[in-house]
Structure 1
Amino acid sequence: MLSAVQYLDYHNYGFPNHSYALQDPDGLLAVGGDLSVQRLMDAYRKGIFPWFNPGDPILWWSPQQRAVFIPAEIHLSRSTKRVCRKFNYHFSVNTAFSEVIAACAEPRGDDQGTWISEAMIQAYQQLHHQGLAHSIEIWQEQQLVGGIYGVAVGAAFCGESMFHRSTGASKLALYLLGQHCQTLGVELIDAQIDNPHLQSLGSKILTRSQFLTKLNELKNKNIEWNHWRQHKAAIHV
């Protein structure tokens, strides 16, 4: 099947049309290239994202269906609110990006692998240094217990990964991301590939065409992401 996929090199920053994405595996569009800031931002602005195992070639994806969140529609359950009050969580914004992505890269449960390689970590840290990638951090006293990170594309936010080390912390990070997106005027959070956990948090499904149409409406809107920084603050839920 890979013979039908376009191979990228270090001099070719273009991506093929989404109509060339494979059906099996769903959404595989291109292979190769690099993780430079220029290529990554070109990909995100076109609704394409990298996802591959360490040691494998870089794989670029545009699946037929896209999981998304509407920021204003992200709500916490009563049980999660109780947990947040019980543990007295605090949050911050863009103060521990490196720690968040490193935590997201840690093995989880019985799965001892991770798709967030050292190359991916370095690439997204470069995006963060240029004000293009952002994080929400959840703290219990001085311990980082949850968080989420992703890439800003105009009035859209492309979520990459989230983690928790304490009950409810990743759900809280997503909720607070939604709150901040509303404040900034961000209208859509891309969650990429749907799964039961995202569904439990209120994800919606858009077709590829619907998602790309919405992204094209949002990607050139001027959002003041550089002002998006906050040190530890109390959480009111």
Structure 2
Amino acid sequence: MSHSLPWLQPEQDFPPVESTWGEQDPIPGLLAAGGTLDASRLRAAYGQGIFPWFSDGQPVLWWSPNPRMVLATQQFRLHRSLRKTLQSFRHSAHCEIRIDSAFATVMQHCAQTPRAGQNGTWIVQSIVDAYTELHQQGAAHSVETWVDGELVGGLYCVALGRAVFGESMFALASDASKIALSALVALCRAQGAPQIDCQQATAHLSFMGAREIPRAQFLKTVSEQREQPDMQWKFAPVYWDQLLSDSP
């Protein structure tokens, strides 16, 4: 039986995620609406497995889906074609991974990239402002694919300790977003981050090894990993070697 959606006042605590709308409710996965949207609010939300997702003209909508789409970093599927792409990228003097060198530009590209079945974007200005503030505090990061000195793809994510939450990707060249995701996986493996939150189930992420797990299981890992020391957000080329040799 459906129940009314909580409307948050500024600074009001989030309701428990167990009260998130389920399959019998109008919009499964929706937890609450309203409240403030800034860096401190994002920290509180992600620490509890909650994230914002809404469009222009809507209030801030907060989500905590069950099950949750998660990419376990040791379960990343490096398919043959991508492996060849990464090997070529790894050994090219014209190609490099940069981290946090163009966060605002990555967000802008993610917002502007057309996506099948979607009109407009959920990366509205208030989202850009809040995540930019979080980035300035060192808890949101961009992983960037550069070729010949040009930014051709990337992603941005949130990180609390060793709890990592993927947000959005873009590509202006073939496989550029997959290269960035592979780099994030390699970084997470090297620094002991066990999972990357993918939020929503997609066929693309499933193909790369992500799967749905119970929210309670996801939250247990988040609770453990957010208390770990912050990761070092620098990419070493040796991470490629470890990924290419370790992946199943």
TM norm structure 2: 0.86
Output the CA distance in 2 between the equivalents of 1:47 and 1:186. 16
Aligned length: 234
- Rounded to whole Å, the distance in 1 between the matches of 2:21 and 2:128 is 27
1:8 is the counterpart of 2:8: yes
* Maintained 8 Å contact 2:103/2:141: yes
Identity of aligned residues (%): 38
**Could you say which residue in structure 2 is the equivalent of 1:121?**
128
Partner of 2:63: 61
SS in 1 for 2:18: helix
Contact preservation (8 Å) 1:147, 1:164: yes
Q: Which residue of 2 aligns with 1:32?
A: 34
**8 Å contact kept, 1:149–1:160:** yes
Q: Deviations over 1:48-100 (max 9, x none)?
A: 00000112100000111111112233243221233452785321111111111
Alpha-carbon separation, structure 2, partners of 1:183 and 1:81: 18
Alignment gaps of 5+ in structure 2:
none
1:167-209 deviation line (CA, Å, top 9, x unaligned): 1111111111011112222121111111101111110211111
Q: Identify unmatched segments of 5+ residues in structure 1.
A: none
| Contact 2:113/2:170, CA 8 A, preserved across alignment | no
Cα distance in structure 2, aligned partners of 1:105 and 1:218: 29
| 2:100 equivalent to 1:94 | yes
Q: Return the offset for 1:109.
A: 4.6
- Equivalent residue, structure 2, for 1:188: 195
Corresponding residue of 1:50 = 52
| Aligned with 1:228 (options 223, 227, 233) | 233
Q: Retained in 1: the 8 A contact 2:157–2:168?
A: yes
Question: 1:174 maps to which residue?
Answer: 181
Of 122, 142, 164 in structure 1, the residue corresponding to residue 149 of structure 2 is 142
In structure 2, relative to structure 1, the CA distance for the partners of 1:45 and 1:65 (3 Å cut) is same
Aligned counterparts, 1:68-79, within 5 A = 68-79=70-81
**Alignment root-mean-square deviation, CA:** 2.4
**CA 1:233 to 1:162, structure 2 compared with 1: closer, same or farther past 3 Å?**
farther
CA distance, structure 2, for counterparts of residue 222 and residue 96 of structure 1? 24
Deviation at 1:231, TM superposition (A): 9.4
In structure 1, distance between residues paired with 2:123 and 2:225: 27
**Cα distance, 1:11–1:144 mapped onto 2, change above 3 Å:** same
How many Å apart are 1:152 and its aligned residue? Answer: 0.6
Change (3 A) 1:31 1:70: same
- Please tell me whether the aligned partners of residues 77 and 207 of structure 2 are also in contact (alpha carbons under 8 angstroms): no
Residue pair 1:89, 1:235 contacting (<8 A) in 2 also: no
Asked whether the equivalents of residues 92 and 233 of structure 1 are also in contact (C-alpha less than 8 Å), the reply is no
